[in-house]
Structure 1
């Protein structure tokens, strides 16, 4: 065994770290397909749980680990690679029904099995990574730099794979590369068994690349249901960062949400694009397309009210404003360029449509004031996830939309109808706040709400709705039998005529919001505060204290009204924390006494503070960068890569001396980096302006100094334990436990208390680490 790591050792370390971070990114897409949300916090928790448990395993291995260094590293490489293959196999065979897990223990067990099997490759990577730090403790900076630089490259590589290949192919490709590296390393180390195992794994991985096992899909998924329709033909399947896109065709595929029940004729057949497994977007087979039925639809109402002027459609769903607006100047802003390519190939530009590959927030932030007669947020019809950032439907986003309207323009927001209404009260509160921030009449004078059997349309204008508008609304509602839930001057008795409810609840909610009065009891079961930039979660409806009463009041139906992302995130937090406690902390009780100036409690406090602080800051920045980049996978790849590469560089440059001066130097850099990283939270409009490549460069430039600074405190402190080697894995394990808990809590804290609270908590953790480190040092 040499006294320093070779280049091959550093390359192998970078490779296993790249595989680890690639899996973190790939899990986001895998979870989104098999579940319904990317569950980034769970992916990070699993990674950190594996690393922490590996640190504990190495600590318990005792004095024999040095003599078996090559063996430990080889075992870590092989466990990582075969863990990849096991994950791929289970995901292809077990179809999950996550929404049933709340009341079916067997489904919950299947869900936890499939999710937590990802622990295995992370554990293997942790064995390999942790072992090199124990083997060469005086080369911590080089090792940590190789580790983090490899992780950054793996994060970017995973995003690149997802852009050109399905997630199952991405998993198989990473596994193949890892096994190839394992075999090469084993050959150079003359480990015949390791070389053969690497060759076997490489063969299996290459077979999976050529014949990729697609993730299993439950019958609850929209894609599964659509494929079961008679005569369905699959026209195309394309990979992409936003998820797998599947284009289907059948004569039975007909979509008309918001259509009146009094429409006397048929609805034309359309193709349908499914992104991932649940997001459904109907597409005409050719433009111009038959659209006579939209004259009787809520989708066509805004265009009837404003028959002239440019139209902006933001996002896509089964709501079909682009179809209703054909023949007029229409701009369609959609972040998934594959949908635009299909529309372009089918003649949409010739029908007067301008196709722009852009997200809703950026389109609104860069739009000319007063540019549009109608802005339709079609994306709202698809709803959203309680923990998914949707900045366009915040108070600030709605304010941008109102500013982009002409003086008498209309903002149209469609919602699926549910009763009691979950999302409608919060949307009305957000819209009212946005209207109140503008000069003009009272918000209630500028809003109209129409309700059908299954759809709800909210209309808002910068100015009061005119008498002509009111007349058109009344005539349309009367002819096509829609209930007018709200318009200026409407009596309560006239709001519940056609699709009758026990009470005119939608009218009562609007009146209460506009008057600033308490909401009706049915609405108070949900979270109804306006969605704001700091808490951009407009689809969160769960009020934790009200959940038991809601289930008791509505019986079995009440379970479907709960925000299962938040509930499963909480369950995952509890399970991950319990596993971390059992796998990381409990086994570490039999360590030798630690020598001064260290104490067990101070070491635990320091590395726990770093674990919490690093992961909270990293994940809250990931949440905020979705505002600028739109796609969570792209934001995750950028944040993970920037933090890992930056932290790797910072690690390589961390001071080795244990003095108060070096501590001050390390943490002053962290403070400066945090100050610079506050820019994405403050200069929102400014950072929304540049084109995507320039935006990426600006964001990297803002985050890289912070990542560099945050990479220094951990190896700086770890270096101080070089003379007490058996305490290094313990410090690593404590850091891992805190990171697991922090990763699981980050999204819950942001949803409940706001992103600024999550960021403040992370900053306080670094303050605590700075204070604890002062107890170890001399005043030199």
Structure 2
């Protein structure tokens, strides 16, 4: 299409971008209703419909073919929606530890999707409910006195228990839980629970006398299940008059809240079982950064504590990294000797960090030691006698909001020097890069390179550098914008839907008017570079100033900001296509292939760059890409001038 009508490239590209923006919103809105299989079916059906529209109208049975194709598409969506779970059951990754691995006879009671995650609730079989209590409850506590429990599983990798409560006395089991440690230090009347899930932290707070519990849960499916299907089973814990359940993301809620809490609790949120393998090294988590820790600690009442539960395996990488960001957060708040504000309890593979508003004294440590001794736990880090492996982590760089890779436990320098093996996540990234390069070059670039070289008379056809720079810069901009809006809106899936849809929508508008821009792609590329610089500088100021506003207001600001960023970006590449096509339409295919390959490869390269230098560094790289695109347009202009000169030469009669 672009080759046949390069002058209409702006309009064609605008519809392409608008379709992508609509698809992003459609996925966000439809996944809760359709589920993943039917959503895949819908995507396939739309592709079938698009293919049908290209059937030549000269065919005699065109109407029948289109009706048949559309009918097949609708049938595909319906089939996958009804039988998708049977036809293509979800398979967890090889390193995920699912309920099926943990207990024999475990069966799925229900499965729900929301834009954030898949939620499964599992029932235990012959081995009973002891698996949940293995990491949390005094091993000597009588098995027959433990109430039943269900397993709530998020994305087949993170478990949270739903304790069955037939009477208030069932909560007595929580007196022997390691989660009760912070209540040994002081009365906790006002408690904030981050990521309450199945409710065990809320139950623990109520059991220990809390008069007010604010529970902040980001997953709507979890809230719906706990208020609906499993409300009676869990003793109506979320309907208790002392409990205030908030559907929100923790960082966003905390930064907007003016309240102070006696205790803030966050137990194995983002619980990735495969952490030790490095499988989640590429995963961002804004709950475990230096700034996040400072936010939580700043909302403690005098004498309050922050309780953070994480896995404590050997080697204790995860718990030590949590200790590191706790020290960084305390330091950011001006606390001297921050290591004296932290105590760590351990039970098996589970660790609990207690971080105090004030330094722990001898009496505090004695109470914790006594609590641990009574229940078979261990005081793994004594704030009065700091020791390894925790103290060695203090000199390392903690995860930050700009580089929020808490699960990236192996520095790239250690891998390159041979001091550490390549983490699983890095292996995936490298494999994806090799595969993307091989497929992009082998299927898109090489098959048309010879034709492009002959048409231009150059080893590097005109528009190559410009198209590569645009592809890399656009995808880098998407990732940076998504990161900024995730913190602002608080919900990653909402930030993805709103931010990317608005960016692509703005780019579609820019593409639609690109034909009115004179002088080719240089001006749009320069405007894109300047716009990105302004975004990097001004967006944090705007978001900080409006963070306390209602969600709808913040969504509106995000829409405007992302649209403004997208406007100049969308007008760059159509100008490249129209300028190349005006001289030699055969080169349009070349610049499109090069740009598309750069976009795919760029998504992988951008992830690696964000890991190495953070998102501000990635944003700077996007600015450089558009600056390079502006500079390289001089080559396009020379090529077009040469084409115009050749066209004006007189034709000699034979």
1:663 to 522, 532, 535: 522
RMSD value, Cα: 3.1
Instruction: Look up the match of 1:281.
Output: 160
2:263 to 370, 374, 378: 374
CA-CA distance at 1:474 after TM superposition: 2.0
Distance in 2, matches of 1:365 and 1:678, equals: 21
CA-CA distance at 1:443 after TM superposition: 0.5
2:139 to 261, 276, 292: 261
Instruction: Look up the match of 2:215.
Output: 332
Distance in 1, matches of 2:565 and 2:614, equals: 21
Secondary structure at the residue paired with 2:314? coil
Instruction: Look up the match of 2:44.
Output: 175
2:100 to 225, 231, 234: 225
- Say if 1:756 and 1:657 are closer, same or farther in 2 by CA, change over 3 A: closer
Instruction: Look up the match of 1:18.
Output: none
**Contact 1:258 1:299 (8 Å CA) reproduced:** yes
CA-CA distance at 1:483 after TM superposition: 2.4
**Contact 2:579 2:636 (8 Å CA) reproduced:** no
**Contact 2:528 2:626 (8 Å CA) reproduced:** no
Secondary structure at the residue paired with 2:431? helix
CA-CA distance at 1:424 after TM superposition: 2.5
Distance in 2, matches of 1:199 and 1:432, equals: 61
Aligned ranges for residues 668-687 of structure 1 at < 5 Å? 668=527, 670-672=529-531, 674-676=533-535, 678-683=537-542, 685-687=544-546
Instruction: Look up the match of 2:32.
Output: 163
**Contact 1:658 1:777 (8 Å CA) reproduced:** no
Secondary structure at the residue paired with 1:716? helix
1:443-472 Cα offsets, whole Å, 9 max, x none, are: 122111122222111111121113331221
Distance in 2, matches of 1:476 and 1:592, equals: 75
Instruction: Look up the match of 1:55.
Output: none
Deviates more, 1:207-216 or 1:442-451: 207-216
- Say if 1:303 and 1:549 are closer, same or farther in 2 by CA, change over 3 A: farther
Distance in 2, matches of 1:380 and 1:189, equals: 59
CA-CA distance at 1:332 after TM superposition: 0.8
Distance in 2, matches of 1:278 and 1:424, equals: 18
Aligned ranges for residues 267-416 of structure 1 at < 5 Å? 267-286=146-165, 288=168, 290-316=170-196, 320-326=200-206, 327-328=209-210, 329-345=212-228, 346=231, 347-348=236-237, 349-350=239-240, 352-368=242-258, 371-380=260-269, 382-383=271-272, 385-416=280-311
Distance in 1, matches of 2:372 and 2:310, equals: 17
Distance in 1, matches of 2:585 and 2:611, equals: 40
Distance in 1, matches of 2:380 and 2:628, equals: 53
Instruction: Look up the match of 2:650.
Output: none
Q: Does 1:535 align with 2:403?
A: yes
1:689-717 Cα offsets, whole Å, 9 max, x none, are: 23322222111111111101100111112
Structure 2: stretches of 5+ with no match in the other structure: 642-654
Secondary structure at the residue paired with 1:215? coil
Distance in 2, matches of 1:225 and 1:424, equals: 26
Distance in 2, matches of 1:180 and 1:697, equals: 33
Distance in 2, matches of 1:641 and 1:666, equals: 21
Instruction: Look up the match of 2:436.
Output: 576
Distance in 1, matches of 2:267 and 2:116, equals: 18
Distance in 1, matches of 2:437 and 2:608, equals: 14
Distance in 2, matches of 1:657 and 1:350, equals: 62
- Say if 1:593 and 1:749 are closer, same or farther in 2 by CA, change over 3 A: closer
1:714 to 567, 573, 582: 573
Distance in 2, matches of 1:201 and 1:380, equals: 40
- Say if 1:140 and 1:191 are closer, same or farther in 2 by CA, change over 3 A: farther
Distance in 2, matches of 1:176 and 1:354, equals: 43
Distance in 1, matches of 2:580 and 2:417, equals: 53
Aligned ranges for residues 502-513 of structure 1 at < 5 Å? 507-513=387-393
Distance in 1, matches of 2:454 and 2:579, equals: 12
CA-CA distance at 1:773 after TM superposition: 1.3
Secondary structure at the residue paired with 1:423? helix
**Contact 2:107 2:124 (8 Å CA) reproduced:** yes
Q: Does 1:770 align with 2:630?
A: yes
CA-CA distance at 1:202 after TM superposition: 4.7
**Contact 1:441 1:464 (8 Å CA) reproduced:** no
Secondary structure at the residue paired with 2:45? helix
- Say if 1:550 and 1:419 are closer, same or farther in 2 by CA, change over 3 A: farther
**Contact 1:162 1:239 (8 Å CA) reproduced:** yes
- Say if 1:674 and 1:288 are closer, same or farther in 2 by CA, change over 3 A: farther
Instruction: Look up the match of 1:208.
Output: 80
Distance in 2, matches of 1:731 and 1:428, equals: 50
Number of residue pairs the alignment of both structures matches: 611
Instruction: Look up the match of 1:98.
Output: none
**Contact 2:286 2:292 (8 Å CA) reproduced:** yes
CA-CA distance at 1:425 after TM superposition: 2.7
**Contact 2:476 2:622 (8 Å CA) reproduced:** yes
**Contact 1:414 1:457 (8 Å CA) reproduced:** yes
Instruction: Look up the match of 2:600.
Output: 740
- Say if 1:259 and 1:436 are closer, same or farther in 2 by CA, change over 3 A: same
Aligned ranges for residues 491-510 of structure 1 at < 5 Å? 507-510=387-390
Distance in 2, matches of 1:582 and 1:234, equals: 44
Instruction: Look up the match of 1:35.
Output: none
Instruction: Look up the match of 2:647.
Output: none
Aligned ranges for residues 538-617 of structure 1 at < 5 Å? 538-547=406-415, 563-591=423-451, 600=460, 602-617=462-477
1:649-707 Cα offsets, whole Å, 9 max, x none, are: 101111456538x7336623552354136444455533532332222211111111110
- Say if 1:394 and 1:204 are closer, same or farther in 2 by CA, change over 3 A: closer
1:326-354 Cα offsets, whole Å, 9 max, x none, are: 25211111101222233334222326211
Distance in 2, matches of 1:476 and 1:685, equals: 42
Deviates more, 1:355-364 or 1:300-309: 300-309
Distance in 2, matches of 1:547 and 1:776, equals: 42
Secondary structure at the residue paired with 1:740? helix
- Say if 1:321 and 1:224 are closer, same or farther in 2 by CA, change over 3 A: closer
Deviates more, 1:284-293 or 1:456-465: 284-293
CA-CA distance at 1:601 after TM superposition: 5.1
Secondary structure at the residue paired with 2:483? helix
1:183-226 Cα offsets, whole Å, 9 max, x none, are: 56648564637535555455444433342234342586555607
Distance in 2, matches of 1:177 and 1:665, equals: 32
Distance in 2, matches of 1:649 and 1:279, equals: 41
Distance in 2, matches of 1:150 and 1:381, equals: 33
Distance in 2, matches of 1:185 and 1:605, equals: 32
Instruction: Look up the match of 2:121.
Output: 247
Secondary structure at the residue paired with 1:721? helix
- Say if 1:586 and 1:475 are closer, same or farther in 2 by CA, change over 3 A: same
Secondary structure at the residue paired with 2:389? helix
1:644 to 465, 479, 504: 504
**Contact 1:144 1:648 (8 Å CA) reproduced:** yes
Distance in 2, matches of 1:639 and 1:191, equals: 45
Distance in 2, matches of 1:715 and 1:599, equals: 23
CA-CA distance at 1:374 after TM superposition: 0.6
- Say if 1:549 and 1:268 are closer, same or farther in 2 by CA, change over 3 A: farther
Distance in 2, matches of 1:614 and 1:629, equals: 22
**TM (normalized to structure 1)?**
0.72
Distance in 2, matches of 1:761 and 1:246, equals: 40
1:404-434 Cα offsets, whole Å, 9 max, x none, are: 0011101111111111122233222221111
